[in-house]
Structure 1
């Protein structure tokens, strides 16, 4: 009994922190080099990249890399200076045409390793660079030597930097310098000698904006269909053949495209131990994939059919849902489809809320009270079913129906009634009777949720506090009874 009570207040060690956290990617993927790239070409990092999981590789601008494989929008790479291998965004690296010694230059802001004359011109002529921007690069024609590229108004001038036998450097014969720094200092001061002012080192433009949540569809493999509902099909799948995930597939034809970006931004910002964590989206092309954590025991409605759960177990589940909904209430997020089928169950009877907010993405003719009526009328507050007035208070009504499902072990509410009959009866004041398996104090909570006047219904915060107090009282009473039995 103690373990059940203790589990109520604990935070899972593997609580997701968003994206594909390190705790989700412990299995090592297949790093075998691609047969198409047998020579492992040399690349250079164009931008800093911080790894976001154990399968990714952190690199700093200027790092030289061996690239073994191309995977969608990523490459599998290893730094020359280390042994770790991992994924790096392909647009963060560039191939080096030849290996040239850079000595200490890699740490300087004006040295760009491994880029061509054409690439130097492209960089210097791109914002935020202006007249007087310059860089040093490896010479393409003379191994071991360098070139100075300078932006002069709307064009780029290139100057060969030759090397003397003693290692000194020069642009003009007879005028050598012991180091690149001294050479640049001289021509910065005496720029008229080359008719090109050296004002400031070339600046890399900000790397292409990359949404860390947007992933190529090719990274995901569908394995087993788990179900189908108002929001599309749900599959069990794998990310990069390694990480188990749940994949919700939505047809773009059924979606309000103008709401998708805003709604997905909402989902990205929500993090709570009782909400299913969004991991990624594939929104480019059709169909849209929404990737979330996988809860192995399926949805609560199916799980309840086992009928092997005690009243305390059921109450614990109800408290967990109230906890998650309190968080959504604080964030002013309306679920619109709160029901046992949208609560997922994991190990240790952990319950998490799924599909919050997705109803807003579906077109009105897909999710409405007319026609083939896909709206879940028997879970929907009367003001929402009749007038599509959704609010946190309509979610409270739905939570009352969820409590009914929980304490009847998954029984369908208003069984035997059509949707139309259900709405008519509710409008006349009818309420579901107390199930024989439901404690009277829980039924009183249900009736509070089903107040006809939405403003008279409690908040989720109040419900959570009420149910927690009932749970603790019942748990303590149960513990006393057990103690007496064994005395």
Structure 2
């Protein structure tokens, strides 16, 4: 029953999640993973089957949902707007498969008004924004626009540029619905009003020569948000990639905010890596919520995992109480996420327990994938700097800086060592240089006392000197999950 309802009424996913909060999908066996209970970011609202025609809108741009509460739309999709909430609207998509969710308010326009498609109509901009727009190139003397009145709902304003000055004229609505600038001179619609003042332009102090040309936004990207939307509350830590803070998005959504100084970054790689973060989506990867990349410092905003990083968690009282079965579950979750990155041909470059975050129900997610590529060579280096994580790094990376999926596999073996030593630092007592020398001579970390021999065998496979002999993450996931199931069944 549940699977049938979920399949055919996907647009009510957030309701089904409340009715069946801990359900594992029928086509994906649990394998002992610990799944968190979904948390709704905004209040639920049932769709109203009877909507007035005035609530019909069209999508101006493509928008990709970043959470279960948001709605993906394509340019031109027909929508019903059910509710306005700040800079977002709750919409029901009418084009294609019906669905319900939030989208940015500036991504939609009303489609039952004749003005909505006119080049001179600018929906939702303020007087100051209109003035800045008209005074910006390529607009010039005689450029004009009509916008919604800020003070009187249902009325409009005409903004006209006269050389270096912009004048604004209130377009009032009479009792009979007529529109006028001068009393006693009404028009049935905006188009006829503009036609009249194009000829009789002296009334508005400037000829109406051409509609305002909209400014092309630097970033027409729903991921890009102003820093003013975020409040920093508590510093969680500091690492190679900058500071990490717990914060609030719009005073409502708890988030983690990574603050990076652009001076430490390779600017040419930034756009590519952020695009990677946006397109990657998997239950074992930290989900990107937003980016603040205009000005400094750079914010990378992600979901918040309340129990912090795995290295610190394992060394805590709660972490030290974990059983071998729990530790193998952690290993399986990380292998699952790395298998996805492997399929996407994404090299993490800094896989370690400090970059695995822990949430409720022992849910583990991979963070900071690909960010090492952003740092300048003098910041992230093997020579003269301690910032490169040598003790997690494959020998071919330490010696030749040759990163690959197979070097991530080596790091995964070190992560397994951290897990089964409850957060102990690998190669304790050795310097970075001593570590590299010992590894090149064939030394490998010994089996931790709490580690089953079968798991230690997996570690040694990850630490093969020849990178090509190391297993894939897919093979690692299957092997570890098989060990998990066997142990789980023996304890049941």
**Normalised by the shorter chain, which TM-score bucket?**
0.5 to 0.7
Retained in 2: the 8 A contact 1:106–1:112?
A: no
Q: Please state how far the C-alpha of 1:106 moved relative to its aligned partner.
A: 4.6
| Matched position secondary structure for 1:416 | coil
CA RMSD, Structure 1 to Structure 2 (Å): 5.3
- In the TM superposition, residue 164 of structure 1 has moved relative to its aligned partner by 13
User: Cα distance, 1:336 vs. partner?
Assistant: 0.9
Per-residue Cα deviation, 1:420-450 (whole angstroms, up to 9, x for no partner): 1111111111111211211111111111100
Alpha-carbon offset, residue 342 of structure 1: 0.7
Cα drift, residue 7 of structure 1 = 7.4
- 2:32: which partner in 1? 8
Q: How does 1:58-97 map to 2 (within 5 A)?
A: 84-87=84-87
| Unmatched segments (≥5 aa) in structure 2 | 1-21, 45-56, 71-80, 90-103, 107-111, 149-153, 161-170, 202-207
Distance 1:460 1:82, change over 3 A: closer
C-alpha deviation, 1:399, in angstroms: 0.2
SS of the equivalent of 2:428 reads coil
Q: Distance in 2 between matches of 1:201 and 1:329?
A: 51
Match status 1:439 vs 2:457: no
Give the secondary structure class of the aligned counterpart of 1:24.
coil
Q: Is the counterpart of residue 282 in structure 1 residue 292 in structure 2?
A: yes
Alignment partner, residue 293 of structure 1: 303
What is the Cα deviation at residue 265 of structure 1? 1.6
Instruction: Provide Cα deviations, 1:179-208, integer angstroms capped at 9, x if missing partner.
Output: 669979x99xxx99x9xxx9x999867666
| Structure 1 residues 26 and 208, CA gap change in structure 2 (3 angstroms) | farther
Instruction: Please state how far the C-alpha of 1:376 moved relative to its aligned partner.
Output: 1.0
Provide the rounded CA distance (Å) in 1 between the counterparts of 2:87 and 2:126: 22
1:335-350 equivalence runs, <5 A: 335-350=348-363
How has the CA–CA distance of structure 1 residues 284 and 111 changed in structure 2, closer, same or farther, with 3 Å as cutoff? closer
In the comparison of the two structures, how many residue pairs are matched?
Answer: 405
Report the CA distance between 1:284 and its aligned residue: 2.7
Give the 3 Å change call, closer, same or farther, for CA 361–178 of structure 1 in structure 2. closer
Unaligned runs of 5+ in 1: 16-22, 28-44, 57-80, 94-102, 139-143, 151-160, 171-175, 480-487
The answer to whether the 8 A contact 2:41-2:69 is kept is no
CA contact (8 A) 1:400 1:449 kept: yes
Alpha-carbon distance in 1 for matches of 2:227, 2:404? 34
Q: What's the CA shift string for 1:278-327, capped at 9, x where partnerless?
A: 22222233322221111000111111123111111111110000011111
Match of 1:37 in 2: none
Question: 1: distance between equivalents of 2:176 and 2:235?
Answer: 70
Partner of 1:239: 249
Give the match for residue 378 of structure 1.
Answer: 391
Q: Which moved more, 1:389-398 or 1:464-473?
A: 464-473
The question of 1:319 aligning with 2:332 is answered yes
CA distance in 2, matches of 1:181, 1:240: 37
TM-score by length of 2: 0.65
CA distance in 2: counterparts of 1:283 and 1:107, whole angstroms: 31
Q: Does 1:253 align with 2:263?
A: yes
What's the counterpart of residue 323 of structure 2? 310
1:411 lines up with 2:424 in the alignment: yes
Q: C-alpha separation between the residues in 1 aligned to 2:325 and 2:358?
A: 16
Task: Name which one, 1 or 2, has greater alpha-carbon Rg.
Answer: 1
Secondary structure at the counterpart of residue 223 of structure 1 = strand
Q: Quote the Cα distance in structure 2 between the aligned partners of 1:287 and 1:147.
A: 38
Which residue does the alignment assign to 1:24? 41
User: SS of the residue aligned with 1:274?
Assistant: coil
Q: Structure 1 residue aligned with 2:377, among 364, 384, 387?
A: 364
User: Is the partner of 1:228 in helix, strand or coil?
Assistant: strand
3-state DSSP of counterpart to 1:261: helix
Instruction: Tell me what 1:394 maps to.
Output: 407
Q: What do the CA deviations read for 1:149-183 (whole angstroms, capped 9, x no partner)?
A: 99xxxxxxxxxx9x99999999xxxxx99966997
Change over 3 Å in CA distance of 1:415–1:204 after alignment to 2:
closer
Aligned to 2:96: none
TM-score computed with the length of structure 1 as normaliser: 0.66
Please report how far the alpha carbon of residue 24 of structure 1 lies from its aligned counterpart in structure 2 after TM superposition: 3.2
How far 1:369 sits from its partner (Å)? 1.2
Q: Residue in 2 aligned with 1:482?
A: none
CA distance in 2 between counterparts of 1:126 and 1:251 reads: 32
Between the aligned partners of 1:281 and 1:337, the Cα distance in structure 2 is: 21
Partners of 2:309 and 2:281 in 1: how far apart? 20
